[in-house]
Amino acid sequence: MTGKAKAGALNGFLDSGARFEGTLSFDDVFRIDGHFRGVVVSESELVVGDRAVIEGEIRVGRLAVSGTIRGVIHARERVEVHAGARIYAEIHTPALVVEEGAVLQGPVEAGSKTPEAAPEPPGPTT
């Protein structure tokens, strides 16, 4: 067995009933089902299970949420909010998918970072 998980493989887990406070960084995919307070930083994917509670800042490549998040979310690629999820956070992501039955409260910045050119306002008529 090698020390490095293959790409896309789950390489960390915080189980239900466990609590962690601090800064979490990881490679590949990490799943949280317990209670986490602090900062999460990764270029990969964070999976938030249905019994998870996260309070703090999340900066990841991809985020899939079935549990509860309070704080600020920055996802480089996408955020998926599954039915039953509860997000009370500021969200910044280029792609946001929200399933029916999810709760989403807070400011959302989704889509391209470069706004399309606004049409010129009509000039004065003479």
**pLDDT of 104:** 96
Of residues 101, 48, 99, the one with CA closest to residue 73 = 48
The ranges assigned to domains in the chain are 10-107
**123 pLDDT exceeds 70?**
no
Is the model's pLDDT at 118 over the cut of 90? no
Report pLDDT for 25. Answer: 95
- Local confidence band at 10 (pLDDT 50, 70, 90 cut-offs): confident
pLDDT digits (tens, 9 = 90+) for 83-95: 999 999 999 999 9
Q: Which residue in the block uniquely carries the two structure tokens 């990841």?
A: 60
In this structure, the number of other CB atoms found within 10 A of the CB of residue 113 comes to: 7
Which 3 state secondary structure label does DSSP give 34?
coil
